[in-house]
Homo-oligomer: A and B are copies of this chain.
Amino acid sequence: MSSDHREPSLDVGLLSPVSAGHDESVSDAAILDALVTAEVALVRGLARVGALDPGAAERLSAEYGWTDSGCRGHGLSATDLALAAVDGGNPVIPLVGALRGRGVEPDAIHRGATSQDILDTALMLVAREALGRVIADLDRAARALSAFADEHAGVVTAGRTLTQHAVPTTVGARVAGWVRGIRRAVHRLREARDALPVQLGGAAGTLAATVDEWGTDAAAALPSAFAAELGLMAPDAPWHTERWPVTELGDALVQAVDAVGKVAADVAVLTRPEIGELAEGRGGGSSAMPQKQNPVASALIRSAALRAPQLAATLHLASAFAVEERPDGAWHAEWPTLRELLRLALGSSAQAAALAEGLVVDRAAVARNLALSDGRIVSERLARVLVPRIGKERFAALIGEASTGSLAGALRALPEAADLDVDALLDPAGYTGLAERFVGDATAPDSGRA
């Protein structure tokens, strides 16, 4: 539609507001940086194990802007590589060509490696950077929500099951549950991040070319050297077509999106105007309706939560179909899927942090809703106390809609209940169980392990 010249798509997030502005760490530029970083790190690793001249490694490092956090300013074009990637099916083939074509230590580049070594490792680097940001944003969200839970630990509210008022709980207890979910997700993300491994095995996962050229000892030492350059883990053996490092990463990411998705689900309900118990600090406007304050952060997070699980499923399918020493499609399916999953985690955790930090409770609305059932919200307690006195049938009539007048009045009029403190019996604040204790457990400073 736009032009005759075939240009690759520019995706700046026009259709993905949840991640727009939060996904630079998974941009094509970032991925290209990581690919170059992996190639240079391999050369540095070879030098470290004595296989290559350290000078060559240094010259390459300088040429491609090696820093402690990867290569920058290397001057390669992601667009050119993207188009050139089609023929061979992956971007590493043209990348190697471009690096060698630069003329700086061309013979040192990509020695003993296969495309998969570079691409898998680069995606682990990208994941590490993205996970760092996701974890930071979830930590922010958990901290803000912990403070919020503490602040509102004593605010009694209607607990709702299947949309209906069930028994009382507290604002703090509900939010403490969110904190637990987020902290568990952070725990999994940290595990995943700390386990991110380099991949280095050559075409069939045997490191044959490396052994052939530099011998068994150098080859055996190389993965650790490579990993040390990159700050990633060295696996027991090349993982190659055993893809659990990818699926475990994906599972942790979707668990993170779930955790904030649950928060957003609750917030979206509780900001409904008829309920009005919560408000996002900063609502979004409308193109036509000036009065609206939409819970935009919640909506965006929920859009991510609706999408992420199916992406993780694709990673699992790719894992199960990772046939032989490199599959005919399953590996290729992982790349954009993992990237999109990282994007969703980045965007939804950033939105969640902002949402958590701005969240506002309307205590009057909480109290008004709590009173809506005229005391029936503690009917579980009433049943325990009254059924033995008046029987099931009369109790049901009392509670049911047939009754007129206030429930308190009806209780006071009951001869069998004459000895009861009706106000205390009906007070929802007296029926919140261990809510306060559960808040304290969740928001204590050392409760972060899960």
Contacts and interface: CB of A to CB of B under 8 A. Distances in A.
Given A208-B432, A332-B17, A433-B207, A202 B288 contact: yes
Interface string A82-120: 110111111111001000000000000010011100000
Interface residues of A, dominant DSSP: helix
Interface in A271-326: 271-275, 284-296, 298-326
A161 interface: yes
Q: How many copies of this protein are present in the complex?
A: 4
A303 B26 contact: no
Contacts of A286: 88, 93, 114-115, 161, 166, 203
Contact of A163 (B9, B30, B271): B271
A236 B442 CA distance: 9
Contact of A309 (B92, B305, B314, B369): B314
Contacts of A294: 88-89, 161-164
A15 interface: yes
A2 interface: yes
8 contacts: A2-B24, A9-B28, A161-B289, A177-B237, A180-B239, A261-B319, A265-B323, A272-B272
Contact of A241 (B177, B204, B298, B433): B177
Interface stretch (A41-49, A52-60, A136-144, A209-217): A209-217
Contacts of A329: 264, 268, 298-303, 305-306
Interface string A238-282: 111111100110010011011101101110110111110000000
A105 to B, nearest CB: 16
A66 B273 CA distance: 41
Nearest to A37: B1
B244 A181 contact: yes
Q: Looking at chain A, what size class is its interface with the partner chain?
A: 35 or more
A206 B173 contact: yes
Given A273-B164, A307-B333, A381-B209, A287 B431 contact: no
A162 to B, nearest CB: 4
Given A2-B72, A166-B326, A208 B174 contact: no
Contacts of A19: 9
A372 B185 CA distance: 39
Contact of A204 (B13, B166, B303): B166
A208 B373 contact: no
A11 interface: yes
A78 interface: yes
Contacts of A316: 254-255, 258, 308-309, 312
Contacts of A213: 384
Contacts of A113: 287-288
B384 A82 contact: no
A32 B379 CA distance: 29
A339 B9 CA distance: 11
A399 interface: yes
B274 A216 contact: no
Given A86-B21, A202-B167, A433-B202, A265 B26 contact: no
Given A27-B10, A242-B184, A372-B273, A299 B328 contact: yes
B321 A431 contact: no
Interface in A390-420: 395-396, 399-400
Interface string A177-216: 1101100110010000000000000111111111111001
A220 interface: yes
